[in-house]
Amino acid sequence: MGNPVVHFQIVGKDAQVLQNFYSEAFDCQIEPAISGYSMVYPGGNVGINGGIGATPDGGEGHVTFYVEVPDLEASLSKIESLGGSRMMGPEDVPEGPSIAMFADPEGHLVGLIKTES
């Protein structure tokens, strides 16, 4: 079995506009988390959680999905050997998981989340 997609992230110039849009468009619960970033909960047992926030530098936004892996460093090394590029991490999110990000060979940004022990 492959590694599951377990989280998504949508970031852009105006976190509040994005949060309101997605909350109303898809009737999901959005709760403030840290520094203008909010967590998205689809409700029930269907779908995955996510986050919506502002880009740290006010730059262009992006949508990212996160894949759960048992070892961030090993996964990043494998990704680099296949032509991907490490973009961030591994880093520990305060009161959250350990994450990393990479760009695939065409530059698409993808996240990794360490499997909970």
CB 85 within 8 A of CB 102: yes
Q: DSSP labels for 20-50?
A: HHHHHHHT-EEEEEETTEEEEE--TTSS--E
Closest CA to 77 of 93, 65, 89: 89
Task: State the chain's mean pLDDT as an integer.
Answer: 88
The 10s digit of each residue's pLDDT in 10-61 is 999 888 999 998 888 778 889 988 878 899 987 766 788 899 999 877 778 8
Helix (H) or strand (E) holding 15, with range, is helix 15-26
How many CA atoms, within 13 angstroms, populate the side-chain half-sphere of residue 23? Answer: 16
Class of the CATH domain delimited by 5-114: alpha beta
Give pTM, 2 decimals. 0.80
